[in-house]
């Protein structure tokens, strides 16, 4: 793959400046081309679709909130940019904070070059409780294969094939939060280079008090068995990630999800 600027899509919360720290860092890069997309908000969505609700309950065993659905719509719009790109790119939520820009550039370029013809995605988040700036210097790049999806979609490298496949899946199912079902293979960076949030940012979709439980599907139905197995893989990933991202010698607290 020729070295050229690749899209770094930032999903920007309307009437908010919390994207600025991320945007200012990306603008310094000679590798990334910043692309701003205004996020869809829950209040702008139409009424609930009964068919979508049934699919949500089958997968999450609850009904998603309008904000969670809106988050999915925003990510689809961002992934559409990546799907139409030549080599792929990155999707950021606007509370992503870059720890090490050079490490981020190397990781994105290396991953897209290695997996350019595959449906693959790379999570960039650092899951350690503390991270000393510069401790990723001279660290070899390692892409660890996950059993399911990356736990969060805050900062993810996507190949064009992966973006297209996820978009197609999202268009034929419920507007599921973060990741619709797909055949995309997910990896995580062994030394994360992006942090989720800072002291001035907060979750826009974190209205957990408004979440509605749905009727649990029959325990031994195909949908239920598939969902249970998938949730098991997701839980197993959360246990394994601290081993994929071991504590660096300068970080005093061990890694957690």
pLDDT tens-place string over residues 76-126:
999 999 999 999 999 999 999 999 999 999 999 999 999 999 999 999 999
Instruction: Give the pLDDT of residue 248.
Output: 58
54, 47, 44, 48: which is closest to 14 by C-alpha? 44
- CA end-to-end distance (rounded Å), the chain: 33
Report the phi/psi class of residue 138: left, alpha or beta, with left for phi > 0 and alpha for psi in -120 to 50: left
Please indicate, yes or no, if residue 257 is contained in any of the structural domains. Answer: no
Domains held by the chain: number? 1
* Structural domain span for residue 20: 6-244
What is the β-pairing status of strands 89-93 and 6-12?
parallel
Closest CA to 70 of 34, 92, 46: 46
Which of 72, 24, 167 has the alpha carbon at shortest distance from 8?
A: 24
Question: What pTM was computed for the model?
Answer: 0.83
Query: What CATH number is given to the structural domain containing 14?
Result: 3.90.550
Q: How far apart, in whole angstroms, are the C-alpha atoms of residue 250 and residue 47?
A: 50
Residues of the chain by 3-state class (helix, strand, coil), percent to 5: 35, 20, 45
pLDDT digits over 192-217, tens only?
999 998 756 555 555 444 445 555 55
Residue 250 lies in a domain: no
The verdict on residue 23 lying in a domain is yes
Is pLDDT larger for residue 152 or for residue 251?
Answer: 152
Residue 254 lies in a domain: no
From 129, 95, 135, 104, select the one nearest 257 (Cα to Cα). 129
**DSSP H/E element including 143:** strand 143-145
Is 227:234 a contact under the CB 8 Å cutoff?
Answer: no
**Residue 250: per-residue pLDDT:** 46
Instruction: Report H helices in 19-65.
Output: 20-27, 50-60
């Amino acid at each position: 793959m020729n070295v050229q600027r690749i899209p770094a899509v930032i999903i920007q919360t309307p009437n908010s400046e919390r994207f600025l720290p991320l945007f200012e860092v990306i603008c310094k890069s000679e590798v990334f081309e910043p692309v701003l997309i205004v996020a869809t908000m829950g209040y702008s969505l139409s009424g609930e679709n009964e068919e979508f609700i049934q699919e949500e309950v089958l997968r999450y065993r609850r009904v998603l909130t309008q904000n969670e659905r809106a988050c999915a719509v925003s990510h689809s719009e961002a992934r559409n940019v990546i799907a139409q790109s030549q080599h792929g790119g990155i999707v950021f939520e606007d509370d992503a904070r870059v720890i090490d820009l050079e490490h981020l550039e190397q990781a994105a370029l290396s991953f897209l070059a290695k997996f350019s013809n595959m449906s693959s995605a790379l999570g960039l988040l650092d899951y350690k409780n503390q991270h000393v700036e510069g401790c990723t210097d001279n660290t070899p790049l390692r892409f660890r294969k996950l059993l399911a999806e990356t736990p969060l979609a805050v900062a993810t490298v996507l190949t064009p094939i992966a973006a297209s496949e996820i978009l197609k899946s999202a268009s034929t199912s419920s507007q599921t939060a973060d990741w619709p079902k797909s055949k995309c293979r997910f990896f995580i960076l062994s030394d994360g280079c992006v942090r989720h949030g800072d002291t001035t940012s907060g979750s826009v979709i974190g209205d957990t008090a408004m979440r509605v439980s749905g009727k649990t599907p029959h325990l031994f139905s195909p949908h239920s068995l598939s969902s249970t197995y998938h949730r098991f893989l997701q839980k197993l990933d959360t246990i394994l990630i601290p081993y994929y991202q071991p504590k660096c010698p300068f970080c005093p607290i061990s890694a957690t999800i």
